[in-house]
Structures are given as C-alpha cells and as structure tokens.
Structure 1
C-alpha cells in the first residue's frame, strides 16, 4: 500500500462491554490513551488520522464509518480479540484494499492467530510503528517530532494524561506485563515534558504508569519534581498516579508527592487475604491495608483508591462476604475503585498454572475473560457461587449500605480534602456500583436492547449480539464472527492455546499504555 494521496488512518480501541451495553462509557477513567500515542507517530500534515475508542465512543456500528480508512490499526485488551476481528471484517467488506494492523496485548498473546486475520501483527513498543509506517506508506508520512495527539481525544472532564515510565518492576502472576517480561524503563525529562506540553493546561493530570514509584528512588524524585514544577506554574490543579504497595513503606514518599501537587493515589491492594496475595506473587502488598493507607494518605491531603479482586478458587463465599461487609462497616475504609474476578490472561503465570491444574471451565471463550463472570472452577459449588457473584458485582441487597458508606466516608474526610476530592470520594462508588443508564446513538441503544441476559458464568453466558453482523457482509467473513475458544468441551486447552503456550513469552509491547476497560493493573 503506497500512498498516492493523503492517506486516511483510523486507530481503533476494540472493546466489548462485559455489562452488555453498546453505549459510551464517558465516565470511565482513565481513558485508553494508546491510540493517541500511536496517532502521534504520523505526520499531521501528510496523514489524515482519526481515533475511535469503543469504550469512550461506544460500539462502532455505523456502516458509513467502515469505508473511510485506508489503514486501520487495532489495539485493546486481550479479551477484545474477537471484537477486533469482527471490526476488521467490516472494514475489509467495505474496502477490500484496506490494510489492517493489530497490536497491543492481543498481538502479544496470540501472534500466530492474529497473523491469520490481520495484514500486520506488531508486538513491539509504540515507537516500532515507525518501521511499519515506512513499509506501508513511506518515510515521508512519519511525524518529525512525535508527540501524543491529545487534541484528537476531545474533552475529558478537564483531565490530562501523561506517561513517565513503561512496564513494571514487579511480577504479579495475574498481570499481562509479567507474561511479556519487559524491563521497567523511565522516560527522559525531555520526553515527559513533550507530553505535558502537548496536553496543555488541564484541571487535573493523570499519570498512566503501571507503577509510578518504580525501583529507583532518585529517578522517582526526578519525575515528581518535574510534575511539581508544572503544578506550581499552574499547568494543572493536581495530579494522580498508580503506585505499588512498597511506596507506602517509606513515609517520606507521601510527603514528597503531596508537596508537589499529588491529589490522588491508586494502589492494587487486590485482596485482603494474605495467602491469596502470596499466591499472586504480590508480597509487596501484604501490608497494604486499605483503611490504614487511606488514613495515611488523608493526613497528606491525598485521596486513596484501590482495586480488589475476587478469587473463588481460593476464597469461600463467606470469606468474600465478610470482607465486603467489613469495608462497608468501616467509615475510614474507602470502597474499592475496581471489583473484579481474577482474570487468567493468556501469557501470564496465573493462566499457565490454571491450565495445568485443569481449573478453566469447558468451552471457555477468550471474550469471557472480562472479570465479570466465573471462568475458573470455584472451591464451592458453582450453583452457590454464581448467584452470590451476580448480586455482589451489582451490590444487590447492599445499595443502601453503599450509599450510606459513600456519604459517611466523604464527610469524614471533609477536612483533609478539597471540594473536588470530596465529590470524587462520594460519587465514585455510586457511579461504579450503583448502576445507571448509559445513553448512546439510536443504533447503540438498539444493540444494547438486543443483548441477551447475562448469567455471570462462562458455561452458561450466551454470546453477545456483536457476534451477529450488524449489516450484510460477504459470506467469506462468516469465520470472523466465530469466538476464539480457550478450552474444548472437556475443559482441555484448544490448539490455539497449546500453540501459544509452546511459544516463548512475548518480547516487548506495541502499546505502551493500555488503560481501557477498566483495569490497567490487570491487563
């Protein structure tokens, strides 16, 4: 594909909502920024670049969107492989000469499977896109001074985004970064400054690092000082970041970030059960009690947020139930920002352990790995666990306690937080777990209405309506709407999984930032 005119490039973040809604999730924070970093590799004068994020914009359903691009680049979480393949079929049906590229966790997890679907499979960092652009379009179409195209993201509640490091220095067994095995690398001051300049003035800044703290204190302080300098000159009112549990072991760290404008920290507590944390190889979180950490952060004027994962293969219903009740009964303990089942992501040690132990359910689809349904055999009867899980994820029977806790917790922090932090601490849990109606286009709302009811169990959950083409396609694209299975009817790994597990672990990453669905820490 050699360009004879100004080529049209579309970068798509593929996504299928586990809650079976095709409407946009405008309130989902942080947004996926990988597409905007990828867009920055193209020359804005030579290439017409657009971004479509199915999380923020909703499901791509308008047939007129599919015949526009000459080149389509897909990224997304691993479980979005099927959706990326469906979208590729729509684009190829509308324009047989379109060039398709897949990158990110999907390409790193199943490179050979992807090679049979897409024209190009990229497993490296964002910068490696340059070589592909040269081959497909030509060197003239590369950006002279690459910088994220935040201008394409539109308004995002006054939030700006920046990435100061790549990867993570820990090896949690459930994390896709562990499977990829790449080194933890900080950006230079010049690179970070370029991103900040591109973002411009914002109300708040979100640092998208998988681990902002890292393993080099001097470099950590360098990056904090850089953000502090920008904060003091008024580029943003404050900033937030994700840190690992070891950050809190040194009391000087909180004082340092607070003095430089930090207003919020997220940490992957993951579990209140020490044995579960040890099984996850997450020993650095053994002392991460959310109540103590929230109190410590509040003393420095910093809002504390965290994630919790449920593992019914290691925990009983009573154990999980008592932990949730304990959080609701404690005014000082914030509710988790994320409540998810542990996801056996292909390529991770947890996935390989689960396969070897025969814990994956039969006829398991890759798209089932959304963190909102049971995919592994629990230690208690499935018929007991599934109804409990369905109620818990929607806080059914606990909504009054949820609202009471959110209000009381926010009120208890009123002297430590400013008005924005107080509003976030109160409204955050209500938005996450209280439920609500999402509004989209007529097509998106109709697609949502067509979705079958969820069962919260991979063995019984019906396929999303997305697996039926939304408009007429050539019959040759029928295979693109078949799900990728991880296990067969007996629960044994499929050929795709066997091939994947026989390969060496991934080398590198295509999208340095993958914050999409909701859980950067878990994918």
Structure 2
C-alpha cells in the first residue's frame, strides 16, 4: 500500500431489496448500525473510513468506490451473501491488492464458503475487527478508545441509535440468534455512556437491542435510568426499544420506562394464532394481544408497534384474511410495521425442521429467503396462494381501508400521544405499505428498471439484475456471480449449500 497516506477502509452493509429496487430506502427505521460500530475500531489518525449501506444509500454501483479501498469490510443479513460476494469481486477487480473481510450472520451461518471467498472471516461480534486490523496493518491502526462513528451516519433525520445489550435470552425457532446460540449480555454503563456521547444531540433515540428487557431486572432498570438521565438533560426528546412479550407481565415496567422518556415500544406479536406461535417456540408471545398491549402502552403515553408473520404452511388464506380484517376494523389496534412470511433462515431450528420435513420448495436460492416470496410449500394450491400473497404484502385492493385505519388510529389515541407520536402513527403504515417511489441516482434507477418482475414464488422467480456483472470482468470472477442454491430441483439441500456451511454447528442432530 502507498506510504504517506491514510489507509482506506470501505465498510459495506450488503442488501438485496426484496422489491427489487436499487434506490435508497432512507425513511426506514432502524438503520443498519453495525458498519458504524465497526468504523469506530479504526484509528482516525491512520485510517480514512467510508460506509456504504445498500439499504440506506441504495445499491453500490460506482466504479470509483470499488477502486478506492485498501480494505473492504462486508456485513449484512444471511440472505445477502451473494451480494457480498459480488461486491468483493468488484473490489478485487478494480483494486487487486484489497483485503476483504466478512462478518456478522453471514459468516456465522456459512463459515466454509466465507473462508474460501474472503481473506478474513469473523464469526464473533464487532470487537473481533480489532484483531483483523492488527493482522492487516499493525496495532497503531486500531483505535485505542473505540466509539461508534455516528458522525458518518449523516443525514440521520434526527434519529440516534444505541445498543445496550447483545443477543437474546429466548430461542424463537425462526431467529438467527437461536441458531448462533450466543449468550445474552448487557453492555457496561461505560459502554452505553460512550455511545451516547458519540451520538450527540438527537431528536429521538432508537435502542437497537434484540431484547431490551432481558432476564436481569437490575441491569434492565439501570439501563432505563441511564437513558432517562440523558433524556432529562435534553439530549433527545424521547426513545424507543424492542421488548419481548414477558415484559408486559409486569405493569411497573411500562411505568418505569415512561418516567424515563420512553415514547415507543416494539414487540414481536408475530401471529394472532397461539398454535402458530407454539411452533415458533415463541412462548413469551402467547399472551401478546396487540389490542391489550396498545391500550396498556397508551395509558403511559407510549405508542405500541409490532411485527406480524404469516405462514401459509400452517394457515389458510381464510385464516390469514380474518386476522388482517380483524385489525383493519378496529381503530384501537395499529397496523403492523412489519408484515412478512416466515423465513427459514439458514442455521436456525426452523430451517433444520423445514429441511427435514421436506417443506422447502425446489430451486430455492439463499437470496430468495427475504420474507417476501414463498420458499416453503403452502397448505393450499400455489395458484391461489401466490396472487393473495402478492396483494397482501402491499395491501393492494384495500389502500382506502389502510388509509382510513391509519388516520382513525392516530385520532383515537391523540390525547394519550404527543403530536410527534400521532403524526408517526398516521404516516408510518402509509409509508410502509404504499409503493416505494424508487428515487435514487440515475444509475440506480436504471438498474431497478432492468429488474425482472417479482413473482412472489421462489420456483418461478428469475435472477435479479445484480447477477449480471456491471463491468467487463475476467473469467475467473464468473463464479462470484453464481447464486448459492439451497435446494435442488427435487427440493433437497444441495451439495453446494452443505459444503458452504461446513463448520457451522448443526441443529439437526
């Protein structure tokens, strides 16, 4: 590497948009924060860091960016493995001496293939990047005092991000954390203070924890009060966090959080059918009725938000339709901020059970597992399920009912909510379920234009345009644009996939 200049570090959150848009999605909350935490481990005196989040910034298509780095660090959800491989190929082509690093869920689920593709594979938390920095450069390039590089997140629309715990104390069968089996731990007060200091003044704070509540009451209360101290000092106007269903069994929890500035809570209701929840091993949500939880939160001026998972392998269209209709006719219940199919994420108990039970459809790619298309056999005919799914995910044919419900819900709770909460309650569902405008730079919009139509069915979907190289590439890069196939033409796991995850702890035994 040239002497006399800072080392150039590119950190990328790789992302395949399930709607096949290459344009930015800048209004989605929360943003991916792993790149900014990783950036804090590089010493600013010796290193220049750039972050590219393909969800927030849109697809990375610029040759000048691929030519720039000395080190390229990739992270992302498991389904984005193919995308990380493509981006690494571009970097290697235009900057042959670049060192490539992969971490996060991808590396933990697919260690063998990551070892083959990337120079460094990190299966731990973000702290492991420190060892990689020392291996590539020397200890002087590793920051002595690490803090997230929130300065690189601008513009952030006034939202700050904070992590106070890692992992989760529950083991939902469909969750990647269950497959990884790592212990639930809380950050120290010093770590949280450092993050808050790095954040600076913000309009609102989103706590990124997978489970803010956890299984240690003393640390929970301490974290709530610490955030409350900053709220009372005026650093931000309010904050929100994700909690599991057991949080609501103690009403004093809501009171404590409200007294310390909490304005919003997200909890994974997931499904209104208790039998479906039991198959997900989601015992903590069996009593998570969105109506009662919304009312309980509203008493303390806290807005309630939740996600829903539909499972056509266990539910009929009529059963799913009844759940959606139940919500639409009740203005006291918010619409879900997340509506998804069950995803058999690689490495999870749910995936292993789906594979053993022959529920996976044929010719499924890893990149198909995005929650927006069928990858498991439904209990009803495909010709009826697929059209219904297409309409359901974007509320086609019921946009008026969606708009009416959003406005009525915000109006109903206006006396319990502050004006910002009321505006968000009215606008959020409209943003989520109306079509994405797809506005990006010209190259991103042209890339979106080239995409084949989404069929909502993994067996019939055509490869997205990203699998065709943007630039003329030497023949030895061709393998980097071949998708990782999970199942073959008969629905069995492919040899390619089984080899890719060698070294990962199997949950099938």
With the shorter chain as reference, the TM-score category is over 0.9
Question: Deviation at 1:506?
Answer: 8.7
Question: Deviation at 1:382?
Answer: 1.0
Q: In structure 2, what is the Cα distance between the partners aligned to 1:112 and 1:314?
A: 33
Aligned residues: 507
Partner of residue 247, structure 1:
247
Please provide the CA RMSD for this pair.
Answer: 1.3
Greater RCO, 1 or 2 (C-alpha within 8 Å, sep 6+)? 1
- What does 1:87-106 align with in structure 2 at a 5 Å threshold? 87-106=87-106
Q: In structure 2, what is the Cα distance between the partners aligned to 1:117 and 1:90?
A: 13
**Are the aligned partners of 2:364 and 2:486 in contact in 1 as well (CA < 8 Å)?**
yes
**Are the aligned partners of 1:277 and 1:283 in contact in 2 as well (CA < 8 Å)?**
yes
Partner of residue 422, structure 2:
422
Deviates more, 1:128-137 or 1:33-42: 128-137
**Are the aligned partners of 1:2 and 1:138 in contact in 2 as well (CA < 8 Å)?**
no
**Are the aligned partners of 2:484 and 2:497 in contact in 1 as well (CA < 8 Å)?**
no
**Are the aligned partners of 2:113 and 2:499 in contact in 1 as well (CA < 8 Å)?**
no
Partner of residue 72, structure 2:
72
Q: In structure 2, what is the Cα distance between the partners aligned to 1:183 and 1:175?
A: 14
Q: In structure 1, what is the Cα distance between the partners aligned to 2:204 and 2:504?
A: 41
SS of the aligned residue for 1:116 comes to helix
Question: Deviation at 1:498?
Answer: 2.8
Counterparts in 2 of 1:431 and 1:487: CA distance versus 1, 3 Å: same
**Are the aligned partners of 1:271 and 1:308 in contact in 2 as well (CA < 8 Å)?**
yes
**Are the aligned partners of 1:180 and 1:506 in contact in 2 as well (CA < 8 Å)?**
no
Is 1:236 the counterpart of 2:236? The answer is yes
- What does 1:336-347 align with in structure 2 at a 5 Å threshold? 336-347=336-347
Q: In structure 1, what is the Cα distance between the partners aligned to 2:466 and 2:339?
A: 25
Question: Deviation at 1:3?
Answer: 7.0
SS of the aligned residue for 2:67 comes to coil
Partner of residue 83, structure 1:
83
SS of the aligned residue for 2:144 comes to coil
Partner of residue 307, structure 2:
307
**Are the aligned partners of 2:111 and 2:503 in contact in 1 as well (CA < 8 Å)?**
no
- Give the unaligned 5+ runs of structure 2: none
Question: Which digits, 9 at most, give the CA deviation of each residue in 1:229-264, with x for residues without a partner?
Answer: 110010100000000000001000000000000000
Per the normalisation by structure 2, the TM-score is 0.98
Question: Deviation at 1:486?
Answer: 0.3
Question: Deviation at 1:173?
Answer: 0.1
Partner of residue 520, structure 1:
none
Is 1:221 the counterpart of 2:221? The answer is yes
Partner of residue 292, structure 1:
292
Partner of residue 381, structure 2:
381
Partner of residue 170, structure 1:
170
Q: In structure 1, what is the Cα distance between the partners aligned to 2:148 and 2:328?
A: 40
SS of the aligned residue for 2:92 comes to helix
Question: Deviation at 1:470?
Answer: 1.2
Q: In structure 2, what is the Cα distance between the partners aligned to 1:135 and 1:504?
A: 24
SS of the aligned residue for 1:35 comes to helix
Per the normalisation by structure 1, the TM-score is 0.95
Is 1:487 the counterpart of 2:477? The answer is no
Deviates more, 1:435-444 or 1:66-75: 435-444
